[in-house]
Structure 1
Amino acid sequence: MNMSWSARPFVRIFVFLVPGILLAYWVPAISGIGPLYILSSIGVLAVSGYAVYKLNFSWSRRWILGSILGFSVFLMGILLVNLTNSRQPEISLGNFETFMGRVIEEPVETAETVRTVIEIRQIINNDTVIMNPGRTMAYFRKDSLSMQLEYGDMIVFQGKLTVPEGPKNPGEFNYAEFLALQNVHYIVFISGDNWSLLGTSSNKLKSLAIKARKYLLNVLKGNGLAGNDYAVAAAILLGYDQLLEPELEQNYVTAGAMHILCVSGLHVGIIYLVLNFLLGFLRRNKLQKIIKVILLLTMIWFYALLTGFSPSVQRASLMITIFILATLSSKQKDVYNTLAASAIILLFVDPFIIFNVGFQLSYTAVLGILMFYKPIAGIFFIKNPVVRKVWEIVAVSTAAQLGTFPLAAHYFHFFPTYFWLTNIFIFPLSFAIVGAGMLLMAASWLPVISNLVGIILSGFVYLLNFIVSTVKFLPYHGIHDLYFPWSKVILVYALILLLIPLIFKKRFKILFPALVILLLVIFLQTEHKFRILNQEKLVVYSINQHSAIDFIRQDEHVLLVDSTLLAEDHKLEYHLSNCRIEWGLEKNIESIEGSFLNTEVNLFYDGQFGAFGDHTFMRIDDKIPYRSKNPVSVNFIIISGKRMIDIKALAELVDFEFFVIDSSVPHWKQKKLMKQAKEMQYKCFNVNEQGAFVLDL
């Protein structure tokens, strides 16, 4: 696109709107500014802009008017955050036990619970009803009653609201912030006899959408799809990903095909292409074009309804809607301007969607295709139509990867090296699966035809799963444990944006800035490696009801954990994978119950006493007696387990500077130990309250 900056008004609005949203979210003092004050400021700027335009406007001074308008949009971003107000509502925790609320998300069954979001309508305390709407993540004990919960149910329940805890280990996923961005600020656990159903009060359209999706899930299940084939078909066609097994999801991640499991712009784009082809005869005059647009939009949003209006479907449908509406204009169309318009609409509905990973990856993938597809596709001129189509698929997937790679590396720490190969098969298969799925839905009331289409659809999905599952057996199937902080993400994006015109359009003027950015990327990588080679630390992690102690020296480490945690790899990954990647460590996990000697990290541990570098320590748990015939001296003590320790008696036997309470210690014992530490004036670090204990040596 060679259109000028001025021809892209929505791009300019987006550029000023997003910083306002980010600043308001990151600086609470700014988001606390009153809406009336912000509106008044915008009004003053509007009047000033009008005065500048009428009284002293000249082309050479147009930047003044542009600056005023830009700052107004910036303030609008702050106002959106202020009005959405995702900050925590004022509720005194522990004072209220009886609540009335409405189920506002479709309940999801897990192994032991039924999870949903409840919008609290009333809080009842000592016969006083307090109107205080708020949202809480609710976990019901799984039983025959809770499994019948549905969207829109009004319930009364008893429980204790708790604030979700932030990350307690370095680099750990911030679940509290994740919930807050959805305006959910509390968690409550509800037992089977502490709630009752009052009735139903739902959004009729959303309720209809959820019921439609349930019906279509039964259509898939009733026409020959089962197991992984059923789970993948449900994800691709209906955006329902609750049935996917972790191993199956990992196969798609490894193959670089995870995008196929989310109803995204690709899926809605396929539906648009099919419908646009079928309605191709409506193009002779303006009226027919309008009818065609109305039919296209109706069918696309009807499909969105069938998928339950999941966020990814709404995002993709809106994006396609803006593009379709743009076709009615007789003016030259700018795809970047259209794309920015769809993003702005979403941000006005929910400004915090800017933090949504799916939103970020969707738009960067589309941007990558728009910006890089033509230069990459133009590398080769291929006459053979079949080979040309294959190359076009490779070009599209490469362009999308260029758009998403820095963000994907930041969030998932992995790069699939065979994405170009798998997409050669995935693209045509996705067309076939979506097409067969649409046909199955349309013919669901015809048993013979629907069964036949179901068999064909099952075959397509089986082939897709088979191709995806074979990639992990290929050599060098991916680059693991990529460390991409935000500084590196921004620099790599800047480098990509400079290298494409430099390579394909021979714009050698940007060679110098490209080299500067490349040197900055190399500097960040070198600085990270230097930190790894100079690190030596002992870490006592905070993992509820477990003991986990890490001994780190350069890029080597030994992680000692209790036997229960040793068998729960998923829990270790959740809590520790990000910091392990940041610290440049390979997995090396051993049981804490026993003796251990490792010369690479300079660690000795006999099950009770240990030495790491220049520091000595003692660990006391349920199984290890802490009494010794002769007094010993250590730098610090790590206390584990449920057995109560008398610090005063311990101090007579062991000379130590401070002690650490690990996360296997129950709450009652923590309180007693903290009290004793205060009385005896010992330094005490409680990882349950303060987060992981990190000792840099």
Structure 2
Amino acid sequence: MLLTVAPVWKEAPFIRLLIPLMTGIIFQWYYPVWVATLIIAGLTCCIFFFLFSFSKGYFLFRHKWLLGILLMSMFFFAGTLIVHFKNITNQHKWFGSVYHNKAVIIAVLNEPLVEKNKSYKSVAAVIAVDNGKKITKTEGNIILYFKKDPLAVSGLQYGSAIVLNKPLQPITNSGNPGAFDYKRYCLFQDITHQVFLSENDYTIAEGNFQPVYKQWLQNSKSRLLQILKKYITGEREAGVAEALLIGYRDDLDRDLVQSYSNTGVIHVIAISGMHLAMIYGLLIIILKPFSKSRKTRLLRGIIILSVLWLFTLLSGAGPSILRSAVMFSFIVIGESLSKQVSIYHTLSASAFFLLCYNPFFVWDVGFQLSYTAVLSIVIFSGPVSNWFYFKNKWAENVWKLMAVTISAQILTTPLSIYHFHQVPNLFLLSNLVIVPLSGIVLYAEILLCIISFIKPVAELTGKLIAILIQWMNGFINWVDDIPFSVSNNISMSIIQACLLYAFIIFVSLWLMHKRNAMVKYAVAVLLIFSCRISLKNIYQQQKHTLIVYNTPGYSATDCISGKRYYFTGDDTCRKEGFFRNFHLNPSRILYNVKQADALPGLWSSPPFIFFKNKTIVLLDSTVKISPVPGAIHVDIVIVSQNIKYPVSLISQAFRGNQYVFDGSNSTWKIRQWKNECDSLHLRRHSVQDDGAFVLDF
């Protein structure tokens, strides 16, 4: 077990390499060091390691610990170098190093067009840049948004090459407090720029420029999607079927996804190791006759690996399913060679190789949850299942499933709270029903794809799948509607998450290994955890904050006092839904505040808001401004809705310490106002360019 450190350290030697590798990856990302320094340091460690390895006698015996330090240092510097060279902006072929606004871009579509509300979206690889002097072969990806004109984009498909001459825009974050780091998310996929294209901004080249094997994979995926759409009726049902089989999420209903998340079964519609485990189990049953001799075991292993990796590639090869594919590969190879492989060794080795392949998996939520879930099941499922014993076989199997579900939650809960700010309280009930049901649906979908050429049978199978998915969705919505089914809006820092993990480890050592000394450590950690929360609450009660959000096309402002906030802005931002959840809720979770209709020390008299000792004026299209003899002195002037007045006139009426242009204004208008502010020597802040305006006082 993990909690008995010494045996695991010997049982899974890759842990010794994985820890320094991960440390190096994280260190280099947050504290980047010049690459030449890293190479010299890494080579120095290698030289001394081999020198000490070949030394003999007393010196090696007395200083054997040096070999361990040097080995770990080697992999630490290996991690730093891997993350440096994986970063597309550090590569000499990155298109950004030769691109300028007047350059011509040649890009190849990496995925089919996806329909959005106001556009079509795709990701493309920049294969060449013509900067006017020469054409340079390049690497790196961009996001393309095409004007919503079905006729104009009819010639665009996966692998199409386009030539465009419209200036690219760097991808930026919203700058809202607590917001998702979209810029980093894109960078980890080699995406650094984006552009919106009309019909006249690009031309389409003839032919398909993707490799043949990628075309085959994409065509196979498209064919599977066609089969599912054809035979499974209902948009919501087809969307779930597509996500469950091949991880295609573009047709999923957002409200339904939220319900799956609230009930703790989001892994069902996010391709994960669970799906691969189901397919692996099915293959083991089908190919059981091939397990008798060494040759047939090898053949069985080849078939299983081929199917598992084909499924992995068709589903997009996300970190979670890659983890599962690599682990099952080790297991299958071990079984084919009649060798037992430690689960800890398999886990650590798969993580090691995946991080060497892509160090940015360290920050991927799917990667983190996948490994912690498996590790948690391995450690705790045995002890948890021993809590109860049932003579009835069915009751025993149900309890084993419940034990696995409970075990998985032990180590994933801190991560879930940190990333998603919620805990599904009824996860046990949801998983008990949905996991077996989703397994039946998955097998039925595989059957549907195999027999799709037999139309009557395929139609019947599709109807049965649709009914099963309707039951799944209905059950999930029912559980989600139960009061207190989810505890949400929980704010947790990385330090608090680490303290929670420390508490779990100490309590586990106490309960599972009878180490009574661990009780005092667990209590100490719990006290530190509680003190941090108490101090944070005390500090929060004394704090006042004004936030003008970066909400594209809308006005949104929060006045925060203690644990409450007062909102003023457009009605769209008040409504429950994706827009509010994405742009506003992360900040409110970060500040741990709840909405109030009124705050002490705040009163409004449009267009003025008086908040504690601050005077704020909100200027929108309803406010009329005319020259006055003396300007009214205010602290903040918030300008909205593209008001027709120049800054010179605004400043004559309202002399502000700060002029803030919110997200409801057009880019060209903000640019004009910024130039005026600069010429008048006025302090200004554009939420589009500078992120949310945050004032603490």
What band does the TM-score fall into relative to the shorter chain? over 0.9
**Are 2:383 and 1:375 aligned?**
yes
Kept in 1: contact 2:619–2:643 (CA 8 A): no
The CA deviation at 1:222 is 2.6
Comparing 638-647 and 14-23, the one that deviates more: 638-647
1:72 is aligned to 74
Q: Distance in 2 between matches of 1:254 and 1:228?
A: 18
Distance 1:587 1:617, change over 3 A: closer
Distance 1:682 1:192, change over 3 A: closer
Distance 1:637 1:225, change over 3 A: closer
Kept in 2: contact 1:173–1:575 (CA 8 A): no
Q: How does 1:164-313 map to 2 (within 5 A)?
A: 164-198=171-205, 199-307=207-315, 309=317, 312-313=320-321
The CA deviation at 1:20 is 0.8
Q: Distance in 2 between matches of 1:339 and 1:609?
A: 60
Could you tell me the TM-score, scaled by structure 2's length? 0.92
The CA deviation at 1:129 is 2.1
**Are 2:110 and 1:104 aligned?**
yes
Q: How does 1:349-364 map to 2 (within 5 A)?
A: 349-364=357-372
The CA deviation at 1:649 is 5.0
1:113 is aligned to 119
Gaps of 5+ in 1: 589-597
Comparing 413-422 and 329-338, the one that deviates more: 329-338
Q: Distance in 2 between matches of 1:444 and 1:655?
A: 71
**Are 2:690 and 1:690 aligned?**
yes
CA deviation vs aligned residue, 1:594-614 (integer Å, no higher than 9, x gap): xxxx65332221221221112
The CA deviation at 1:364 is 1.1
1:43 is aligned to 46
Secondary structure, in 3 states, of the residue corresponding to 1:150?
Answer: coil
Q: Distance in 2 between matches of 1:539 and 1:106?
A: 39
- Which amino acid in structure 1 is aligned with residue 552 of structure 2? N
Q: Distance in 1 between matches of 2:315 and 2:419?
A: 26
Q: Distance in 2 between matches of 1:169 and 1:261?
A: 29
**Are 2:466 and 1:467 aligned?**
no
1:621 is aligned to 620
Distance 1:671 1:109, change over 3 A: closer
The CA deviation at 1:397 is 0.9
Distance 1:381 1:693, change over 3 A: same
**Are 2:27 and 1:20 aligned?**
no
The CA deviation at 1:186 is 0.8
Kept in 1: contact 2:173–2:691 (CA 8 A): no
The CA deviation at 1:332 is 4.8
Kept in 2: contact 1:602–1:613 (CA 8 A): yes
Kept in 2: contact 1:417–1:478 (CA 8 A): yes
Kept in 2: contact 1:265–1:319 (CA 8 A): no
Secondary structure, in 3 states, of the residue corresponding to 2:89?
Answer: coil
Comparing 658-667 and 5-14, the one that deviates more: 658-667
1:91 is aligned to 97
**Are 2:583 and 1:575 aligned?**
yes
CA deviation vs aligned residue, 1:271-316 (integer Å, no higher than 9, x gap): 1111112222333343333222222212222333444555544443
CA deviation vs aligned residue, 1:634-662 (integer Å, no higher than 9, x gap): 33333333235455555555554443333
Secondary structure, in 3 states, of the residue corresponding to 1:530?
Answer: helix
Distance 1:106 1:493, change over 3 A: farther
- Which amino acid in structure 2 is aligned with residue 180 of structure 1? L
Kept in 1: contact 2:552–2:663 (CA 8 A): yes
**Are 2:478 and 1:440 aligned?**
no
Secondary structure, in 3 states, of the residue corresponding to 1:136?
Answer: strand
Kept in 2: contact 1:406–1:492 (CA 8 A): yes
1:506 is aligned to 514
Q: Distance in 1 between matches of 2:146 and 2:436?
A: 42
Kept in 1: contact 2:46–2:70 (CA 8 A): no
1:593 is aligned to none
Q: How does 1:590-605 map to 2 (within 5 A)?
A: 599-605=598-604
2:564 is aligned to 556
Kept in 1: contact 2:39–2:81 (CA 8 A): no
1:130 is aligned to 136
Q: Distance in 1 between matches of 2:170 and 2:589?
A: 29
Q: Distance in 2 between matches of 1:668 and 1:438?
A: 52
Q: Distance in 2 between matches of 1:83 and 1:55?
A: 41
Gaps of 5+ in 2: none
Comparing 63-72 and 135-144, the one that deviates more: 135-144
**Are 2:36 and 1:33 aligned?**
yes
Distance 1:603 1:311, change over 3 A: same
**Are 2:467 and 1:481 aligned?**
no
Of 140, 148, 157, which residue of structure 2 is paired with 1:150?
Answer: 157
Q: Distance in 1 between matches of 2:113 and 2:323?
A: 22
Q: Distance in 1 between matches of 2:651 and 2:143?
A: 45
Q: Distance in 1 between matches of 2:329 and 2:139?
A: 33
Secondary structure, in 3 states, of the residue corresponding to 1:185?
Answer: strand
Comparing 622-631 and 409-418, the one that deviates more: 622-631
Q: Distance in 1 between matches of 2:517 and 2:617?
A: 63
CA RMSD in angstroms, aligned pairs only: 2.5
Of 8, 14, 21, which residue of structure 2 is paired with 1:10?
Answer: 14
Comparing 385-394 and 447-456, the one that deviates more: 447-456
- Which amino acid in structure 1 is aligned with residue 611 of structure 2? F
Q: Distance in 1 between matches of 2:623 and 2:357?
A: 58
Of 391, 402, 426, which residue of structure 2 is paired with 1:394?
Answer: 402
Distance 1:233 1:653, change over 3 A: closer
Q: Distance in 1 between matches of 2:619 and 2:132?
A: 46
Q: Distance in 2 between matches of 1:545 and 1:440?
A: 45
Q: Distance in 2 between matches of 1:675 and 1:446?
A: 68
Q: Distance in 1 between matches of 2:131 and 2:88?
A: 25
Kept in 1: contact 2:101–2:166 (CA 8 A): no
Kept in 2: contact 1:239–1:261 (CA 8 A): yes
Kept in 2: contact 1:35–1:82 (CA 8 A): no
Kept in 1: contact 2:14–2:345 (CA 8 A): yes
Secondary structure, in 3 states, of the residue corresponding to 1:137?
Answer: strand
CA deviation vs aligned residue, 1:575-607 (integer Å, no higher than 9, x gap): 22111012122245xxxxxxxxx6533222122
1:595 is aligned to none
Distance 1:432 1:665, change over 3 A: closer
The CA deviation at 1:671 is 4.2
Secondary structure, in 3 states, of the residue corresponding to 2:36?
Answer: coil
Kept in 1: contact 2:334–2:340 (CA 8 A): no
The size of the alignment, in residue pairs, is 686
Q: Distance in 2 between matches of 1:657 and 1:456?
A: 66
Could you tell me the TM-score, scaled by structure 1's length? 0.92
Distance 1:601 1:244, change over 3 A: farther
Comparing 60-69 and 578-587, the one that deviates more: 60-69
1:536 is aligned to 544
